[in-house]
Amino acid sequence: MKIIWLGHGSFRIEVSDLVLLVDPWLTGNPVLPEEHHDAATAGATHLILTHAHFDHVADMLPLARKLGVPIVGQYDLMSFWNEHEHLDTVGFNKGGTVSLGEGVSLAMVPASHSSTFGTPDGPKAAGSEVGFMLMAEGHTVYISGDTAIMADMDWMGDYYKPDIGILSAGGHFTMDMKGAAYAAKRYFDFKTVIPCHYRTFPILEQDAKALAEGLPGVDVIEPQIMEAIEI
């Protein structure tokens, strides 16, 4: 498995014979230069969406059309796009699990955030915010999406037992590094933690020092743009 950070909350995950793009934000992403866009999306088999804020959804529909691959996400929004945008979608809901291919499963879990589109008439609700448990190659990866610390992490850690955590940890909009360390230590037994949703803007945390300090014995890996973390 290769986990490749595309900046902010965006990842390219190469697993088995699949290439998963999680919340791929290209247009306007200040930390992903345009010359990397084609490499970041090449060979994608699935687009995976946690929620509908612009920094996660801006490129979802254009990429779905360009690449001809399904969008996987929360049922209400996926159904709307399937019906009105005529796109291939896989819609399911919290508690559900879908197969993405031989030996690769994706379970949807709660997150605590919001999920809206901006419109001329103000924000409009767009399904609900979620996270995912990606199960493949003997690993379970918790993809938190944008979230606060929440009590649901207790059963999620106990039931799915993820060994890898991709955690939003930039603060202001999500958990900060200290909070992510607290959640990881209290609710999970990660071997590896990869922070995200940070360094993009000055308002967000700029390093993962507090996360690493709060998780002794855990391999906390600060991702670098377009550099593969091999698990």
Mean pLDDT across 68-89: 97
In angstroms, the Cα distances linking 8 to 24, 53, 81, 94 are 9, 13, 24, 24
What is the domain count for the chain?
1
Q: Which range marks the domain in which residue 59 is found? A: 2-230
Residue 6 is encoded by which pair of tokens?
Answer: 């595309």
pLDDT in tens, 167-180: 999 999 999 999 99
> Dihedral sign, CA of 67, 200, 115, 58?
negative
Q: Phi first, then psi: what are they for 222, rounded to 5°?
A: -80, 115
Q: Is residue 102 pLDDT above 90, yes or no?
A: no
pLDDT of res. 9: 98
Q: What is the pLDDT of residues 113-146, one digit of tens each?
A: 999 988 899 999 999 999 999 999 999 999 999 9
Q: What is the CATH number of the domain that holds 99?
A: 3.60.15.10
Query: Own/partner pairs for 92-96, CB < 8 Å, 24+ apart?
Result: 94/128, 94/130
* 9: amino acid identity, one letter: G
Site of tokens 């390093």? 207
Least confident of 93-97, 103-107, 116-120, 153-157: 116-120
Kindly tell me the burial class for residue 42, based on how many C-beta atoms sit within 10 Å of its own C-beta (0-12, 13-18, 19 or more).
exposed
Cα 189 to Cα 17, 20, 137, 143, 183, distances in angstroms? 28, 24, 18, 14, 10
